[in-house]
Amino acid sequence: MKEIAYRDALREALREEMRRDQTVFLLGEDIGRFWGGAFKVTNGLAEEFGDERVRDTPISESTIIGAAVGAAITGMRPVAEIMFGDLTALAMDQIANQAAKIRYMFGGQAKAPMVIRTPFGGGVNIASHHSQSLEAWFMHVPGLYVAVPSTPYDAKGLLKTAIRGDNPVFFCEHKLLYPLKGMIPEEEYTLPFGKADVKREGKDVTVFATMFMVHQALTAAERLSRENISVEVIDPRTLVPLDKAALLASVKKTGRIVIVSEDCKTAGVSAEIAAIVAEEAIDYLDAPIKRVAEPDTPIPFSPPLEKFVIPDENRIIKAVKEIV
């Protein structure tokens, strides 16, 4: 095992897959020699693989995704980087109406094996246009896979799986996770989609959390353990496909659930998870379902206001105590 940062784990996955398969290439704004990506994930890859396979693009998200879709249809495996997840709104036709539907509409005769990498989340004071968590948008599009890795280990293993698959994958990376360090194997590995990870075992309440909120949940669980409250933390790793079995098994064990996500509460990730539990495990619940999410407001630029709207360990602890 070795310790590595989240951004470096992503870079390792890209490097290994580019060495393994000549059809894998990268495209996006400022990912090449001059800058190495806004968050330095692609740093050094252009020097190794050349400008043809690490392609700096115009500042046009629709162009980036449109080119990736076309390349994927014709046999390449593009990995497109959108500098900030909010800007995927500028490419929604290419994502939702083209990439996601091609394999279905052509009966499998055509496919779009491509990955869209993009950072989501707040906490770095860059205001409403660069701080949203929009993963629920993409859960709503049939044909897209949605990955939400929370650790370096998960990030590398899931990205390698995403690149090798034949479906378009929307790969969400939280900005605050890029410097996070964790242990990964020295040898090659991949992780399956649709397989959740129990980040912490517990018996009193399930906390379902994604991306950076997993770490907030783990901190909350540690604090609650000092009060003899045992919290089980479930990390889905992928939202599409979703590991319902792991979610429901945990709820049946604990009888309580708090769902934590950084997106807006209305029609968000937490709403879908709550609906699944209500439909399929309500008889096992000993308390109401609790959701911890952002209020329905744009992310403020002001640091104190941003801190106020983003879920944290204190709000998770409050929600747990309300039902335990």
Active site residues per annotation:
130
Q: How far is CA 307 from the centre of its chain?
A: 21
Of the candidates 146, 129, 124, the one whose C-alpha atom is nearest the C-alpha of residue 194 is: 146
CA distance 49 to 116: 20
CA distance 227 to 15: 45
CA distance 179 to 279: 38
For tokens 């990205």, name the residue: 159
In 3-state terms, what secondary structure has residue 255?
Answer: coil
Contacts of 211 (CB under 8 A, 6+ apart): 120, 121, 133, 148, 149, 150, 172, 173, 174, 177, 262
CB distance 135 to 141 below 8 Å? no
Burial 179-201 (b: 16+ CB within 10 A, else e): ebebebeeeeeebebbebbebbe
Is 223 exposed, middle or buried, given 0-12, 13-18 or 19+ CB atoms closer than 10 A?
middle
CA distance 106 to 103: 6
End-to-end Cα distance, the chain: 38
CB distance 170 to 146 below 8 Å? yes
